[in-house]
Amino acid sequence: MSSLNLDDFTDLIERPDGGVRRDAEARRERQIVPPGSLGRLDDLGEWLAAAQSAVPVRPIEHPRVVLFAGDHGVAELDVSARPAGTADQLVRAVLEGASPAAVLARRLGVPLRVVDMALDCEPEGLPAEVVRHRVRRGSGRIDVEDALTLEEAEAAFRAGVAVADEEADSGTDLVVLGDISVGGTTAAAVLVAALCGTDASVVTGRGGRAIDDLAWMRKCAAVRDALRRARPVLGDQLLLLATVGGADLAAMTGFLLQSAVRKMPVILDGVVSAACALVGQRVAFRAPDWWLAGQNSGEPAQAKALDRMALEPLLDHGVTVGEGAGALLALPLVQAAAALAADLPETPSPETKPEPEDAEDSEGSEGSAEDE
């Protein structure tokens, strides 16, 4: 039995401050640009004010990209365009600044952190700060075996909680959350299908690098078989992550929930982060109030998960590369919303409206005539 009680998160997580949001809405109505004319930027600014409990909203000054990495045994079935066990190559590209996410993060001036949870490689080949939270080497093949033991799932979940605490304690004021994995979208599809009560074909997409029809059919079969193993454990979210998730997904779920506890907003990237968020919602129903959907990746499981959480993507550019790249594109939009909410001047009230410059001169002229 696990010593971790996920029910505690229900009591620990509060909604963003509703009173502050109403104050932010009232301030927005007084600004010189008509309310609603900035579209979703109005709503984003008010959401940020509530999350920060501050009016006017503070600028986003210390964002951070956090990427959880792992290999999934189900990739052995050729359900991914990448060979099984090669996620470490993607991690090295990120660390060397040669991936889309690394390029965008560098251009935007956002620090990027990679957390290895279950890469299928020797840990000595990666920096110590990347591998220090690793739970195991690769996750199990979820169509025929558990991804993790319950103890490993708990360790991964606690690692995610610890990373969230580290970020909050260091002053991070918004996180862009993503994954680096091979086979991760298959595990994510299983979680979404299980929690939404849908069939495998409804949630199975073509992954970050689009697979052909034969690979898609293999992926559907893997999701179907894993879904049969997931349904009996739906009542226990940690056991669900152990059965059909993976160390990286368990860690992301812990990270999301603890971020909500610490009142640290998170922008979700693609289907993997959306699936973990859906598990988090099942644990604590108020948690999604702290998350934004950065983009629509086109994965059907992501759309299903976001719809269940009532989260509308900020962007729809079809970015499927993963690694938080799509969510990073949404970051300037969120920063712009904060700047507009804080810096747009308010319309002067009638009581404080200045007198016309010639009014005083007119009165002075009349006075001179009377004197004469």
Could you tell me if 48 and 146 lie in one domain?
Answer: no
Could you tell me if 247 and 128 lie in one domain?
Answer: yes
Residue 175 lies in a domain: yes
Could you tell me if 218 and 104 lie in one domain?
Answer: yes
Structural domain harbouring 311: 63-331
The per-residue pLDDT for range 64-90, each reduced to its tens digit, is 999 999 999 999 999 988 999 999 999
pLDDT at 208: 62
Give me the CATH number covering residue 26: 1.10.1610
Could you tell me if 129 and 234 lie in one domain?
Answer: yes
Could you tell me if 188 and 42 lie in one domain?
Answer: no
State whether the Cα torsion 146-298-93-170 is positive or negative: negative
Could you tell me if 221 and 241 lie in one domain?
Answer: yes
Could you tell me if 216 and 325 lie in one domain?
Answer: yes
Residue 9 lies in a domain: no
Low pLDDT (below 50) residues in the chain: 359-372
Q: State the amino acid at position 337 in one-letter form.
A: A
> Kind of pairing, strands 266-268 and 174-182?
parallel
Q: State the amino acid at position 205 in one-letter form.
A: G
Q: State the amino acid at position 13 in one-letter form.
A: I
pLDDT at 354: 54
Could you tell me if 130 and 266 lie in one domain?
Answer: yes
Could you tell me if 318 and 262 lie in one domain?
Answer: yes
Which one of 323, 346, 357, 363 is the catalytic residue? 323
- Residue with tokens 């001179």, as numbered in its chain: 368
**Considering its fold, how many domains does the chain have in total?**
2
Could you tell me if 327 and 349 lie in one domain?
Answer: no
Q: State the amino acid at position 230 in one-letter form.
A: A
Residue 137 lies in a domain: yes
> Kind of pairing, strands 174-182 and 112-118?
unpaired
Residue 7 lies in a domain: no
Task: Measure CA of the first residue to CA of the last residue in the chain; give whole Å.
Answer: 102
Could you tell me which residues come within 8 angstroms of residue 45 by beta carbon, excluding any fewer than 6 positions away?
Answer: 24, 28, 57, 337, 338, 340, 341, 342
Could you tell me if 45 and 169 lie in one domain?
Answer: no
Whether residue 323 lies in the annotated active site: yes
> What's phi and psi for 342, nearest 5 deg?
-85, -35
Cβ burial, residue 93 (10 Å; 0-12/13-18/19+): middle
How far is C-alpha 59 from the geometric centre of its chain's CA atoms? 19
According to DSSP, the residues that pair with 65 across neighbouring strands are 112, 176
Give me the CATH number covering residue 218: 3.40.50.10210
Q: What is the DSSP string of 18-58?
A: HHHHHHHHHHHHHBSSPTTTTTHHHHHHHHHHHHHT-SSPP
Could you tell me if 361 and 237 lie in one domain?
Answer: no
State yes or no: cis peptide before 313, omega within 30 of 0.
no
Residue 131 lies in a domain: yes
Residue 336 lies in a domain: no
> Of 55, 26, 64, 32, nearest to 338 (Cα)?
55
pLDDT at 114: 98
Whether the pTM exceeds 0.85: the reply is: yes
Residue 139 lies in a domain: yes
Residue 5 lies in a domain: no
